[in-house]
Amino acid sequence: MNLAVLARVPQLGRVKTRLAAELGQQAALEAYGQLLAHVAQQLRHWPGAVTLWSTPCLEHPLFDQFFPSCGRRLQPQGDLGVRLAHVAAWGVQQGDGVLLLGADGASVTPELLHQAAQALAEVDVVMAPAEDGGYILLGMKQVHSILFQGIDWGSPRVAQQTRQAASEAGLTLWQSAVQWDVDTREDWLRFLRMTSG
């Protein structure tokens, strides 16, 4: 099972923009670095291949530090749906399915990844929905382009629209418990509490 991690190159003003509106751009950049480190830690024992898909370039010292043994590929141009569809198609071609994961998924755990991979043996699509209405993980054994079309990316309707698209296409879907990511100051404080224990 291939794991594709989608990341933005850590650049001031380019990452965690909602968080930056509350904490400032420098604090948001530093937070993004900590989230990258957290996700990388959760992937340490992943049994399959891990590929880091970044934009707008491939190189950054934090990628070298946290993802030293991962393959790297450049995300294509286009909206999030175009990019996700491209990464999914590449991952499926490499083996027995792909899990798409955001590089800043605060609540991702090895257990969640294991559950999703196991579930994908029985269903067409797996998803880890998030509290904000999006998702932090999506997986499939074959490319289902409908899951990336007509989605209001960045809105609280993403997970629901994805569920609806899967249903309309007759795809079986497994969903994890609701997850969360870091978009606001409260989210960030939650992450700090979680990781300081």
Q: Which helix (H) or strand (E) holds 196?
A: helix 185-196
pLDDT tens-digit map of 7-25: 999 999 999 999 999 999 9
State pTM to two decimals.
0.95
Q: Quick one: tokens of 187? A: 């989210």
Average pLDDT over residues 70-75: 97
**Confidence band for 95, pLDDT divided at 50, 70 and 90:** confident
What is the total count of domains within the chain?
A: 1
Contact 52, 5 (CB under 8 A): yes
Distances (CA, A) of 77 to 74, 80, 83, 99, 117: 9, 9, 7, 20, 28
Question: Would you state the pLDDT for residue 193?
Answer: 96
- What is the residue range of 159's domain? 2-196
Output the domain CATH number for residue 101: 3.90.550.10
